[in-house]
Amino acid sequence: MRIIPAIDIIDGKCVRLSQGEYSSKKVYNENPLEVAKMFESNGLKYLHLVDLDGAKAKHVVNYKALYQIARETSLTIDFGGGVKTDDDIRLVFENGAKQVTIGSIAVSEPEKFDTWLFQFGPDKIILGADVKDGMVAISGWQTVSTLKLNSFLEGYAKKGVKYVICTDISKDGMLLGTSMELYKELKKNFPKMLFIASGGVTEKSELHLLNDIGMDGAIIGKAIYEGRISMQDLKDFIQID
């Protein structure tokens, strides 16, 4: 299972939110590159980079931070937030992202998502399935759609989507544990999809449990920044992996 630390960016700074609420913003570092280099120096290989300004503005904003991290580290970066147009997705790949996470467009403009999936291939496009009370949420979690999570995933499974980041918004940034039962159900219902857990991972033990149920990856954010999961914990897990 891939261990994927997260850097969320607002105004060029490394921040975390609680349940996607921008009013809950807490700045952890003024320099995302410094944080990314710290992850790399501790042996981590992946990074989940989220443009929260972009998610709100509905177009990519923090591409310069992406470029800087991609240029100055060897981290494999997946980028999400504000990718709405052909120009946005091209900008993200040109600035060093290896994968792009697409959520809102997959709901509001499925034909465009299908085009990108065909153009770039299932290894480059991650489906972002953010869920609140069983329904898919979009636009930086500001809007809850009328789509049920299972129906949403079923449609894209048939189209060949390979990677899915599934975030339980109620858990995100709360440090109360992740949605283990949700992920068990998803793995059972969609065994061929590679699911990445996101939201609420709080303790090292959860990483082992997520690995045991067959998750492809786990994104960790606030638990790192608040010292609940240490770099040593992640090193140990990578060694076991």
pLDDT at 241: 44
Stretch 200-217: mean pLDDT, rounded? 94
- What pLDDT is attached to residue 207? 95
Mean pLDDT over the full length of the chain: 91
Give the residue, 140 or 55, on which the prediction is more confident. 55
If one counts the domains in the chain, the total is: 1
Domain residues for the domain of 27 are: 2-240
**pLDDT > 90: what percent of the chain?**
76
pLDDT in tens, 107-142: 999 999 999 999 999 999 999 998 888 788 765 556
Residue that wins the pLDDT comparison between 69 and 234: 69
Q: Which of 53, 78, 88, 130 is catalytic?
A: 130
Neighbours of 169 (CB within 10 A): 21
168 is catalytic: no
The answer to whether 130 is a known catalytic residue is yes
Quote the pLDDT of residue 193: 97
**pLDDT one-digit tens code per residue, 153-168:** 999 999 999 999 998 8
The yes-or-no verdict on residue 172 having pLDDT over 70 is no
| Residue 212 belongs to domain with CATH number | 3.20.20.70
Compare 16 and 194 and report the one with higher pLDDT: 194
Average pLDDT over residues 58-86: 97
Over residues 192-220, the mean pLDDT reads: 94
Evaluated on CA atoms 85, 173, 199, 240, the torsion sign reads positive
Residue 43 in tokens: 């042996």
Average pLDDT over residues 13-33: 86
Question: Per-residue b/e over 42-75, b at no fewer than 16 CB within 10 Å?
Answer: eebebbbbbbbbbbbebbbbbbebbbbbbeebeb
Across 139-167, b (16+ Cβ under 10 Å) vs e yields bbbeebbebebeebbeebbeeebbbbbbb
Q: Is the pLDDT of residue 94 over 70?
A: yes
Cα–Cα distance between 167 and 171 in angstroms, integer? 8
- Please give the model's pTM, rounded to 2 decimal places: 0.92
Q: What's the average model confidence in pLDDT over 88-100?
A: 98
